[in-house]
Amino acid sequence: MKRRMMWLLLLLWACAPSAEPLSEPDPGLSDLAIREVYPTTLLPASLLVIRGKSLPSPSEGAMSLALSGTSKTPGGLPRNIEVRLRAEYLSHTEAQVRVDTDFLQQLGGNSVEFDGHAKIVVASVIDRQEHLTEPVSVKLRIVPSLTPRLDLVELQGPQRMTGKIHPNDWLTVRGDGFLLGEGEGDTVALVSGCFLPEGASEPCALNGRAVRELELPVRPLSRFDRTSAMLPYSPGIHGVMPGKFSGSIRLRNQPPGTTMRTLSSSRSLAVEQVRPELTGISPSAASLGQYVEMQGAGFIGGQPGQATLVRLQGQFSLEGSPVNIPVDTEIVVQWLSRFPNGPVGRYVLDETDALGQALEPRGGLREAAGVFVGTGTMTLRYGRESIASKPTPLRIALLRPKQVVVVRFLSSYQDSLRLFGLRAVDNAVRARVLEVARRDYAGINIEFREGSEDSALPTDFAHYAQVDIGGPDPNGLGYLGYDNTPGRDMQNRRLYDRIGGVNAVTQNDGSPGYGGVFAEQLLGFSNHPGPVAAIKSAPGEAELFDRIFDPLRPDVGGNPATVREATLLPALSSGSICPASSDDRPHQVQCAIFVLGSLIGTTMTHELGHSLGLANPSNPSGSYHNQGNLRGRIMNPGSLRSFSERAELSPSGPALFCDTDYQYLRRILPGSQLPPSIERQPCLDTPTM
């Protein structure tokens, strides 16, 4: 990263007078904006969060929060201030400022009201210009401490009217002065009272269970809400058995680094705890490695001595067969917090668990597609206590395996786009990469999802693959891509390979440890590859590459694509018009997007093929690439994959998975869609040993 940024800075400084800012603005900041600043009430050690758009990573520039307006202390007169506070990058949509000593000094102390405007200021390392957003109105209040106020305690959903509650159902508390966690500390609830088990007679003091100041965590209803919070009706209060509880609840604020605590007044709490309920399952059809959720109420877990189990009893009907397999097995489900509906029990379809083992004689969850019809009974176990729900009718279809692939575009990839003059059209390049991937794997039960370093990981699948699209080759070997997973995954047994990052297992056998697709190395196809090693290619290939990219490359005097061009130009469906003529700027940009997206996309589908067990999948000791000299096959070695083929400028069309490679993919990941009607070349065009 440092080497690349230094090379880029030297290039930019060489092309512009030292006393003048660069005329071409940083395209990565074209959409820079600030939207809001929260929370509005701050304590020493709070985090002030900035929500915005196109916020730069540290490699792209330093970011500050500029505040201008009036600051007023209690009993004092307003004074005008203009301050800049260093902001810490969290993601492209969030940054934060720590309320530390410097923050308090600049705003005037720890008891201050500020009224004014906020801007984001970025000192870009790309164009050496300062970028400012349009201001937003901001009112902030800084206080030295907060005392919680408790006005109301209520149940959620139908329980609000009935007073009946299940273990871990949510209670909502409303008031003010709640702490938000992080550096400013936490608010906790203190529950006291008496629990009378079902069937026991009054008085509770004699026949019940006393609860004294049981401490429960309190979470804000929303991230910056100091007036509403929630807490679970934990089994730690009095267990999971049915019965009635009568008592009170109050709140306590616990700032860090001090023994000082502040308490609210108490409010009464009277509820009836009832048996757990199982009402259904979602989704109604799932495959190996996918999450299914048991719906209902009363799920527990996540703590020692707590477990939720579901007993499945019924028949499993095999797809395409009259055979019905009796099922009577118990699975353990994971407690998962959810608000406002209440926790659920999440379960992963896995070959090693009870359900997977029950179907093992029929090929397990990889082969035994079909439908389970029967009942589910939920049982809670809390220490020595055990309580079951009523049986509930359930139906779930088990599908053939599906491979989910998250394609992560890293910040180093974005940095490398600047070298091609394509940073402003990043989204268009990504779209082409994913289009190539989905086309190459058409007819295979595989799903490609776009991601980034900031994006959340899948929540519907526990097992998914990941491919990182980066910039330069971290191994220093000039690879265009490298599958760093530990050996070919024959029959795709893993489902969770990561092509990217560093793999210590791979390094142990002497192989390069870093994997992914390395977009910057594609410059090696050029006659002037800049910071990367040249790639040996056939006559005319380097010239073709340069005719595509030189009009946009800043290091050879080209004009990078602009944000406006990114929004106005439609995507090409083929490279038949490429390269464009020198006076056809729109098509020059379109061709560069098409070609770079194709280069990255075809490299990615090749490396993913390795992870899935290609090539030569029927021979565990066979080579990693197709044998012979036929071109146009995705799993060919690099020497047979020319620039024009990878870029999809070859008149013979894009490369394909050859016949037996594609048959293998269809066998391990049989898709519901018919395969495309394409003539595929043989994989073995020469005799093999």
Tens digit of pLDDT for each residue in 142-188?
999 999 999 999 997 777 778 899 999 999 999 999 999 988 999 99
Whether 479 is covered by a domain: the verdict is: yes
Counting residues of the chain whose pLDDT is more than 90, the rounded percentage is 73
> Which pLDDT band, with edges at 50, 70 and 90, does 620 fall under?
low
CATH assignment at residue 383: 2.60.40
Residue 9 clears pLDDT 70, i.e. is over it: no
Does the residue 687 lie in any domain? no
Which residues are paired to 335 by β-bridges?
345
pLDDT of 595 over the 80 cut: yes
Does the bond joining 560 to the residue before it have cis omega, within 30 degrees of 0?
no
If DSSP codes are grouped into helix, strand and coil, which group holds residue 610? helix
Q: What is the pLDDT of residue 309?
A: 97
Q: Among the listed ranges 4-13, 17-26, 376-385, 459-468, which one has the minimum average pLDDT value? A: 4-13
Bigger pLDDT: 397 or 258? 397
Tell me, what's the pLDDT at 217? 94
* Interval 196-237: pLDDT, tens: 999 999 999 999 999 999 999 999 999 999 999 999 999 999
Same domain, 233 and 290: no
DSSP-based three-state secondary structure for 640: helix
Q: What is the band of 82 on the pLDDT scale with cuts at 50, 70, 90?
A: very high
For the CA atoms of 641, 645, 651, 657, the dihedral, rounded to the nearest 10 degrees, stands at 70
pLDDT digit string (tens) for 181-196?
988 999 999 999 999 9
Same domain, residue pair 382 and 477: no
3-state secondary structure of 224: coil
d(CA 407, CA 467): 5
| Dihedral pair phi/psi, residue 310, rounded to 5° | -125, 125
Q: Does some domain include residue 19? A: no
Identify the three-state secondary structure at position 15: coil
The answer to which of 424-428, 519-523, 616-620 has the lowest mean pLDDT is 616-620
Cβ-contact 60, 5 below 8 angstroms: no
Q: Is the pLDDT of residue 369 over 60?
A: yes
> Among candidates 1, 5, 6, 9, which has minimal Cα distance to 128?
9
Judge if 442 and 511 occupy the same domain.
yes
Mean pLDDT of the 272-281 span? 96
- DSSP-H helix ranges across 39-182: 101-107, 159-162
Domain final residue pick, 398, 419, 440: 398
**514 within 8 A of 501, measured Cβ to Cβ:** yes
Both 392 and 465 in one domain: the answer is no
Q: Is 420 inside a domain boundary?
A: yes
Are 331 and 382 found together in one domain? yes
How sure is the predictor about 19, in pLDDT bands with cuts at 50, 70 and 90?
very low
Residue 107's domain comprises 25-142
Q: Residue 155 contacts by C-beta under 8 Å, 6 or more apart in sequence?
A: 163, 165, 169, 170, 171, 172, 271
Same domain as 296, residue 187:
no
Neighbouring residues of 428: CB distance < 8 A, sequence distance ≥ 6: 566, 569, 571, 593, 597
| pLDDT on residue 161 | 73
Q: Rounded to whole angstroms, what are the CA distances from 256 to 55, 207, 262, 600, 606?
A: 31, 40, 13, 49, 52
Half-sphere exposure of 500 (CA within 13 A, CB side): 23
Instruction: End-to-end CA distance of the chain: give it in Å, rounded.
Output: 44
Residue predicted with more confidence, 590 or 361: 590
* Run of H or E including 429: helix 426-440
* Domains: count for the chain: 4
Listed residues 382, 398, 414: the one ending a domain: 398
The answer to whether residue 580 is domain-embedded is: yes
The answer to whether position 325 is within a domain reads yes
Q: Where are the beta strands (DSSP E) in 45-133?
A: 47-53, 61-72, 79-86, 88-91, 94-98, 112-124, 130-132
pLDDT at 568: 85
Is 487 contained in some domain?
yes
Q: Which two tokens stand for residue 296?
A: 């209902």
Is residue 675 in a domain? no
Residue where the block lists tokens 């297992």: 505
Cα 237 versus chain centre, distance: 35
Q: What is the pLDDT of residue 661?
A: 94
Give the Cα separation of 333 and 519 in Å (integer): 42
More confident residue, 333 or 505: 333
Q: 398, 430, 460 — which closes off a domain?
A: 398
Q: Tell me: do 159 and 104 sit in the same domain.
A: no
Which of 127-131, 171-175, 294-298, 336-340 is least confident? Answer: 336-340
Q: Same domain, yes or no, for 249 and 341? A: no
Return the bridge partners of 187, or none: 253
98-112 mean pLDDT: 95
**pLDDT on residue 504:** 54
Q: Give the pLDDT of residue 4.
A: 46
Residues 269 and 281 in one domain: no
Mean pLDDT of 56-69: 93
Same domain, 380 and 439: no
Could you tell me which residues come within 8 angstroms of residue 126 by beta carbon, excluding any fewer than 6 positions away? Answer: 8, 12, 26, 28, 60, 61, 418
Verify that 549 and 618 share a domain, yes or no. yes
Note if the bond before 361 is cis, omega within 30 degrees. no
pTM reported for the whole predicted model? 0.88
Q: Which residue has the tokens 């990889």?
A: 366
- In tens, the pLDDT along 401-432 reads 999 999 999 999 999 999 999 999 999 999 99
Omega into 615 within 30° of 0, i.e. cis? yes
Tell me the C-alpha distance between 480 and 16, whole Å.
32
**In angstroms, how far apart are the furthest CA atoms of the chain?**
96
Average pLDDT over residues 639-650: 94
The pLDDT of residue 361: 81
Note whether 177 and 149 are within 8 A (CB): yes
- How crowded is residue 295: how many other Cβ atoms within 10 Å of its Cβ? 17
Among 15-19, 78-82, 235-239, 575-579, name the one with the lowest average pLDDT: 15-19
Residues 388 and 412 in one domain: no
Q: Tell me, what's the pLDDT at 583?
A: 95
Q: How confident is the model at residue 241 (pLDDT cuts 50, 70, 90)?
A: very high
Instruction: Report the alpha-carbon distance of residue 149 to residue 44 in Å, rounded.
Output: 20
Summarize the confidence of residues 236-244 as an average pLDDT.
97
**Is the pLDDT higher at 653 or at 659?**
659
The pLDDT mean for the chain works out to: 90
For residue 503, what pLDDT is reported? 67
